[in-house]
Amino acid sequence: MAELCDLTAADLASKLRAGETSSTEVTESCLARVEAVDERVRAFLARTTELARERAAAADARIAAGDAPSTAGIPIALKDVLSTKDITTTCGSKILESYVPPFDCTPWARLAAAGSVLLGKTNCDEFAMGSSNENSAFGPVHNPWGLDTVPGGSSGGSAAAVAAGEAVWALGTDTGGSVRQPASLCGVVGLKPTYGLISRYGLIAFASSLDTVGTFTRSVRDAAILLSAIAGSDPMDATSLDRTVDDYAEGLDEGVSGLRVGVVKEAFGEGVQPGVRSSIQSALNRLSDMGASIEEASLPHADYALSAYYLIAPSEASSNLARYDGVRYGLRVPGRDSIEMMARTRGAGFGPEVKRRIMLGTYALSAGYYEAYYGQAQKVRTLIIRDYEKAFESFDVLVSPTSPTTAFRIGERADDPLAMYLSDVFTIPANLAGVPAVSIPSGLDEAGLPVGLQVTAPVLGEALVLRVAHALERELAFDAVPPLVAGLAA
């Protein structure tokens, strides 16, 4: 029999309202799982155990009074780039190791008001820069499917926590694939919504035109429920979209009959593992059997997306991270004068990958090179946006692998930045275009590691992308559990 911490949020919400369990029991189940496995997984940077118990008790009282939304009482974990009042928020960096925000990010503020239970803050690549969670200043996260493999990044802690049953669901951020790629590698559902649908207020910035808060869940229905709870306009974020929030759980069961599905041909070239290719092809066959029409689609400029991203994102990071100067908050390393103090602070506080991207971005923005690099990259971004617009004239959704490979061994790509960057080659285009995309598990490869399938829809097409993902999820019936979790029940 499954532990409470291994159930979906939708199932738990039903049990809570039926009086079959309590938020306190669910929370204690999650806390027990954290105690049992997190020394090996290392998903959490900070645990808020007593706060979780207090919030669970309050949620139980609220549910008993009949005054509770569907997210009330469900334990959640937050990526440690999302600000939490009076709780350390480090961004996985030494430079913010002691930073305690005086405010909550909007997504957590909305969940807190709805009665959610916070379990803690999860490990991540430093300032969300990475594809393996090896760039955290506080050590790597280990994938529950194979403790010697990476969980993906940069939101690897959130993905691993949900996969291991340490949290029922979690929030992460997706700048170039940092929700979908770890979701793929950890065998959970990862949703990146349309840019601006979820407020970025309180999200510590990496690349402001790309950063998107996203969700990790055990089912597509859970993703729809969580998205409905945190989406919506926010006067504190000028980039948030001014629109009413849909109930994204409505219409999930409408199926895919008659839908036009485009298979992105550029995502099946060199570098895709055979196990990934065969799993995605099998899923496409199932989609066809369910009544969807399957044809080849093209994003002609997708091959340039990686190059454009690694000019745009580091350029924005160079500007955003200039604030960490040792003067206002965070780490300060003394020097003879302010210039030396700033240099020493940034040298000691930032890790190698963050320094690499700051230098890339600063160079791309420098006099004489701005138009040749950053300007050209923005033109490529426009071409990719047009590619999507053209593709969606012929197709309702696009499908591809989420990642070209399954989880690789910790340290395997540490000395090869380009190989690491290629982990996000299929996820980056959706960030550049701002369109919604979701990754769902499509099966296991020959080594028993999860494969992720990505579904992409037009701007504000969350209802459609979730509907297709839900139909495919039911058809594939992926119910495998990580060996780490299976071992606990043995």
Which of 154, 228, 240, 315 does the annotation list as catalytic? 154
Q: Does residue 245 have a pLDDT over 90?
A: no
With residues binned 3-state (H G I as helix, E B as strand, rest as coil), the percentages for the chain, rounded to 5, are: 45, 15, 40
Q: Are strands 293-297 and 397-401 parallel, antiparallel or unpaired?
A: unpaired
Task: Give the pLDDT of residue 76.
Answer: 98
Q: Are residues 77 and 154 in the same domain?
A: yes
Q: Are residues 406 and 354 in the same domain?
A: no
Fill in the DSSP letter of residue 57: H
Q: Are residues 208 and 110 in the same domain?
A: yes
Burial class (CB in 10 A: 0-12, 13-18, 19+), 46: middle
Angle at 53 between CA 50 and CA 58, to 5 degrees: 130
Mean pLDDT of 375-389: 97
Domain closes at, from 347, 375, 403 = 375
Q: What is the C-alpha to C-alpha distance for residues 76 and 121, in angstroms, rounded to an integer?
A: 9
Residue 28 lies in a domain: yes
Whether a cis peptide bond, with omega within 30° of 0, leads into 154 is yes
Mean pLDDT of 150-159: 98
Q: Are residues 347 and 231 in the same domain?
A: no
Task: Give the pLDDT of residue 302.
Answer: 95
Cα separations in angstroms, 432 against 14, 176, 180, 489: 38, 8, 15, 43
Residue 286 lies in a domain: no
Residue 316 lies in a domain: yes
Of residues 316, 344, 309, 352, the one with CA closest to residue 126: 352
Q: Are residues 357 and 236 in the same domain?
A: no
Structure tokens at 434: 């701002």
Residues 6 or more apart in contact with residue 25 via CB below 8 angstroms: 4
What's the whole-model pTM score?
Answer: 0.97
Which of 22, 79, 240, 279 does the annotation list as catalytic? 79
Domain count, the chain: 2
Q: What is the C-alpha to C-alpha distance for residues 147 and 164, in angstroms, rounded to an integer?
A: 11
Q: Is 154 a catalytic residue?
A: yes
Which of 116, 178, 228, 240 does the annotation list as catalytic? 178
Q: With cut-offs at 50, 70 and 90, classify the pLDDT of residue 1.
A: low
List the CATH number of the domain containing 183: 3.90.1300.10
Q: Does residue 341 have a pLDDT over 70?
A: yes
Residues 6 or more apart in contact with residue 51 via CB below 8 angstroms: 87, 118
Q: In percent, how much of the chain has pLDDT > 90?
A: 95
Range of the domain at 359: 303-375
Task: Give the pLDDT of residue 490.
Answer: 64
Beta strands in 265-314 (DSSP E): 293-297
Strand pairing partners for 439?
Answer: 190, 454
Q: Is 178 a catalytic residue?
A: yes
Per-residue pLDDT reduced to its tens digit, 64-83: 999 899 999 999 999 999 99
Q: Torsion angle, CA of 94/98/99/105, rounded to 10 degrees?
A: 90
Per-residue pLDDT reduced to its tens digit, 428-485: 999 999 999 999 999 999 999 999 999 999 999 999 999 999 999 999 999 999 999 9
Q: With cut-offs at 50, 70 and 90, classify the pLDDT of residue 306.
A: very high
Q: Does residue 60 have a pLDDT over 80?
A: yes
Residue 269 lies in a domain: no
Q: Is 79 a catalytic residue?
A: yes
Q: With cut-offs at 50, 70 and 90, classify the pLDDT of residue 49.
A: very high
Q: Are residues 144 and 204 in the same domain?
A: yes
Q: With cut-offs at 50, 70 and 90, classify the pLDDT of residue 88.
A: very high
Taking residue 489's Cβ as centre, other Cβ atoms within 10 Å add up to 10
Structure tokens at 438: 């979701």
Residue 266 lies in a domain: no
